[in-house]
Chains A and B, each alone.
Chain A
Amino acid sequence: MTGDQKSRLNAIDWPAYMLLPLFVLAALPFMSFPTWLTLTIAGAAMGMMLFLMASGLTLIFGLMDVITFAHGAFISLGAYLATGVFAALPGLAKTGGWPGALALLGAALTVAIVVTGLVGWLFEIVIIRRVYGSHLRQILITVGGLIVAQELIVVVWGANPIPIEKPAVLQGSVTIFGAAIEVYRLVAVVIGILVCAALQFLLSKTRLGLMVRAGVENIEMVEALGFRVKRLFVGVFVAGTALAGVGGVMWGVYQGLVTPAIGPEMMILVFIILIIGGMGSVGGAFIAAILVGLTTNYAGFLAPKLALGSNILLMVAILLWRPRGLFPLVKS
């Protein structure tokens, strides 16, 4: 091994990367293998849905230094749009088989991406653009925006919960190595991995991604290289809200019942993920989301009374170890 290869290996933050596999393995002695496998896959699936909701927010915070509590409203909007698409195409859900189910889910995701992205664009122009650089004003105005958005959702869709039925093939479970695993959770895992891979590809292999990663570190320097960061801000905000819409669709279909609070209710977990992962880090959010999903499941099984506070305890433990989260970003 050359000196350069050694220095590259030394540069990898092994403890942060090993935390997740060690955490998964540490739970195994406390339960049977099938139970462990069921809880692990279910936790990972929940983590993927949480990642979809959190990934947009971590991009928005990382690049734009904007804290937006209105993100929950975009999650709710995604879930409500899914109810509309599912209601409009009932045939695909009941008799379409796998192609029909995937087409239905794909249609819901496409509608959510387009609509939440457009609403996000308007939100950036009308509200966010005026509060760049002031966290206090961002919190105040986006909390206000969240309340208004929730009320608008009630105006459009009503205050009563709207049921959303999974396509027939996505209901039920399959047995793998003696563990019962819900089909929908497996689909959520696949979609989460696909989105994460697409984001990683975009961020690491494209010029746009390079600009975003550079902008997260030093916006001024990106401008001095000739790029218009303000346009990049709008693009990232739109992408962030579209990702919230994707998370909303997946979460809404999983829950089976959509309420105006479905998004805001998730924001505590979303912020925990951002803090654990390192504010602004997409990779960190991915690992943190799986950790949060697993912690919820393991704690729910092993110590149900602790389940509610388990993620807070996880966050406290990680912050005691890494005060800036697992994968903190360098800002200059």
Chain B
Amino acid sequence: MAEKLQAEAPLLVLEGVETLIGAYHILHGVDFSVRPGRVTMLLGRNGAGKTTTLRTIMGLWRTAKGRILFDGKPISGLETPDIARAGIAYVPENMGIFSDLTVRENMLLATTGGRFDEARLEMIFGFFPILRTKWNDRAGLMSGGQKQMLAIARAIVEERRLLIVDEPTKGLAPAVIDHLIACMNELKAANTTILLVEQNFHMACSVGDDVAVMDDGVIVHRGSMAELAADDALQTRLLGLNLASHQ
């Protein structure tokens, strides 16, 4: 029983997190948690504070109040490099690809010792075969979808304890989105813990286990993704949409 409780202990916990950007009070007390081995969706309308929440977790914005615990230890006072070294990989909304570097160099930079784990690299090439083809090409020459694949591949080039991804489907073609969904599900099957911000409700339903919905800088709903997907009235109330119109 104790072992089960230990396994269920959340990997990431946000408690009353408040964030100010200049004079603007963006997060007003965010509370939610991410359980290990599961995909937690963070949903909400534009401007709800989803990206700010992710940036605050990564230390790119300072926490004004509240605390963030990763594996039971506080990380809200740490610098971004220390948070990354604790085992959190981050894919920002703009993907953060280094356009002037090759695909290989982008990936190499994310390794801790400057060397690839060949077996893991083969697994990544299995997810994203295009990266093998473009291996020595400048990343800036790739399409938006290919860059997104590189951004995710870079984040998983080594085993991380938590993968944070901000709107990976933004501006992508439906076929690329389907491919990303398949990859996310494979990562999920490999027991990767993921916190995913997404506007595409179809993707959220396809990969999400748990969900937290934000509005105006606070969490307004927490629960299972399957329950939210099945409840049109709840979707309309929380997100201003229903599933049928977004499939």
Contacts and interface: CB of A to CB of B under 8 A. Distances in A.
Chain A contact surface mostly: helix
Given A7-B141, A211-B109, A214-B109, A224 B58 contact: yes
Interface string B97-114: 011110001001110101
Contacts of B79: 223, 228
A223 B96 contact: no
Contacts of B138: 11
Nearest to A217: B98
Interface in B79-107: 79-81, 84-85, 90, 92, 94, 96, 98-101, 105
Given A224-B92, A226-B84, A226-B85, A210 B109 contact: yes
Contact of A210 (B101, B112, B133): B101
A229 B96 CA distance: 15
Contacts of A207: 108-109, 114
B60 interface: yes
A4 B133 contact: yes
Interface string B68-82: 000000000001110
B215 interface: no
A280 to B, nearest CB: 10
Size class of the contact patch on chain B: 20 to 34
A254 to B, nearest CB: 34
A136 interface: no
Contact of A226 (B101, B108, B112): B112
A332 B58 CA distance: 18
B31 interface: no
A332 B109 contact: no
A258 B60 CA distance: 47
Nearest to B90: A224
Interface in A7-27: 7-8, 11
B223 interface: no
A176 interface: no
B109 A225 contact: yes
A95 interface: no
Nearest to B110: A225
Contacts of A8: 137
B140 A330 contact: yes
Given A220-B92, A224-B90, A226-B85, 6 more contacts: A221-B96, A223-B80, A224-B60, A224-B96, A227-B81, A332-B96
